[in-house]
Amino acid sequence: MKTTEKFNDLLDKHHLKKTGPRLSVLSILNSREVATSQPDLEQMLGEEVDRVTLYRILNTFEKSGIIHKILDLNGTSNYALCSPLCTSEKHKDEHVHFNCTICLNIYCMDEVQIPAVSIPKGFKATNKNLIIYGSCDSCNKKGKE
């Protein structure tokens, strides 16, 4: 299936209109190995999408379960595509995130699940998030050169 068809199907699944700006945001997020901040998305999109429209797209995508948000070391929101199992009612992206303290990239480690955590009686968890800080493979290789 072509990438464009995949994105059209994704927007259909979440009952969202297929617009050029939405497809462009999906294309950028899909092409990156790391989570991407709104300022970086603005720069990559250029004049194609204004800041307010981008904010609305990210907000809509997050509420719909298309993307998830990860905060970086500076508290800036970064975004990555969700699992196809995510919906507006339930995000199933309960994987570990790795935040490199050297290059500042954030990686979704889909293969590393967040371990089960027992919380006290009376509390109800609605979301899990685990961020590991350290140096990524790329930065470690640069340090050995």
Question: Which segments are annotated as binding site?
Answer: 100, 103, 136, 139
Q: Are strands 77-81 and 36-37 parallel, antiparallel or unpaired?
A: antiparallel
Q: Dihedrals φ, ψ of 17, to 5°?
A: -65, 145
CA distance 110 to 27: 19
As beta bridge partners, residue 81 has 67
Please state, in angstroms and rounded to a whole number, the distance separating the CA atoms of residues 125 and 78.
Answer: 22
Annotated binding-site ranges for Zn(2+):
100, 103, 136, 139
Q: Which two tokens stand for residue 68?
A: 């998830």
